[in-house]
């Protein structure tokens, strides 16, 4: 769950997670998105949705950040910038992929200029899909990342003949 430190012991990870619950500071990286998700992130910082109730503040440098908010499909031009920001942020850190482009490539998933998803470049902790996600969805994702909310959807599978009641012809 906590990226950057896969060798972390459960005790250390628990302490780190507890510290994230207090006041995680976020740094925002745009990796070639259309700015729709960025505007929604700004929206969550306004008094209307006021994410500072949970101690979250947007900081201007990844050196101060606990959480990286990544938007965009990771274009080839922005790959280096993203890796710089990821390596500069101190461990332990969380990565939240915001928007369709960051989660699975979005409409740029088969483009030759983009990697198609943040998880192709760096490990991701929480995916927040939506094009763009609503500010409430962003708050839900942030709370899920720091362990204050529960996940609401899970994988669904259905096989005809196994999961249905209709008799075969």
Partner 1 sequence: MSGILKLLKIGLVRGRVTRRYPAERTPPPEGLRGRPVLDFDACIGCGGCATACPANALTVEEAEGTWTLRLFYGRCLMCGLCEEVCPKDAIRLSDEYELATTNREDLEVELQLRRVACSGCGKYFTTRRVLEETTAEYSELSGGYSDDFRDVITLCPDCRRRKWGEALADAYREARYES
Residues found near partner 1 in the complex (CB under 8 A):
1, 47-50, 53, 100, 103-107, 109-110, 117, 119, 124-131, 133-134, 136-137, 139-141, 143-144, 148-149, 151-161, 163-166, 168-169
| Residue with smaller CB distance to partner 1, 6 or 166 | 166
Q: How far is the CB of 61 from partner 1 (least distance, A)?
A: 26
Q: What tokens appear for 51 in the block? A: 């994410």
CB of 60 to partner 1, least distance (A): 24
> Nearest approach, Cβ of 86 to partner 1 (angstroms)?
18
- If DSSP codes are grouped into helix, strand and coil, which group holds residue 145? helix
Contact 2, 8 (CB under 8 A): yes
Q: Which is nearer to partner 1, 60 or 150 (CB)?
A: 150
Q: How far is CA 139 from CA 22, 55, 135, 150, in A?
A: 15, 12, 6, 12
Nearer to partner 1, 25 or 43 (CB): 43
* DSSP assignment string, 100-143: HHHHH-GGGTT-TTB-SSGGGTS--SEEE--SSPPHHHHHHHHH
- Least distance (Å) from partner 1 to the CB of residue 129? 5
Whole-number Å distance between alpha carbons of 119 and 163: 32
**C-beta of 53 vs 80, nearer to partner 1:** 53
* Cα gap 119→141, rounded to integer Å: 16
Least Å from the CB of residue 63 to partner 1: 26
Query: Could you tell me the CA-to-CA distances from 2 to 20, 90, 124 in Å, in that order?
Result: 10, 12, 9
Closest of 3, 148, 32, 42 to residue 101, by C-alpha? 32
- Closest to partner 1 by CB, 7 vs 160, is 160
């Amino acid at each position: 769950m906590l990226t950057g430190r896969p060798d972390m012991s459960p005790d250390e990870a628990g302490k780190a997670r507890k510290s994230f619950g207090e006041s995680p500071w976020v740094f925002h990286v745009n990796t070639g998105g259309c700015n729709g998700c960025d505007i929604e992130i700004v929206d969550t910082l306004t008094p209307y949705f006021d994410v500072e109730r949970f101690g979250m503040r947007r900081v201007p440098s990844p050196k101060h950040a606990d959480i990286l908010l990544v938007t965009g499909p990771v274009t080839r031009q922005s790959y280096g910038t993203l890796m710089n920001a990821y390596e500069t942020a101190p461990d332990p850190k969380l990565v939240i992929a915001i928007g369709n482009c960051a989660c699975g490539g979005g409409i740029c998933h088969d483009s030759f200029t983009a990697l198609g998803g943040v998880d192709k470049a760096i490990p991701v902790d929480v995916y927040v899909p939506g094009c763009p996600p609503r500010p409430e969805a962003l708050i839900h994702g942030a709370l899920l990342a720091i362990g204050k909310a529960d996940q609401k959807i899970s994988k669904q599978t259905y096989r005809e003949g196994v999961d249905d009641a209709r008799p075969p012809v």
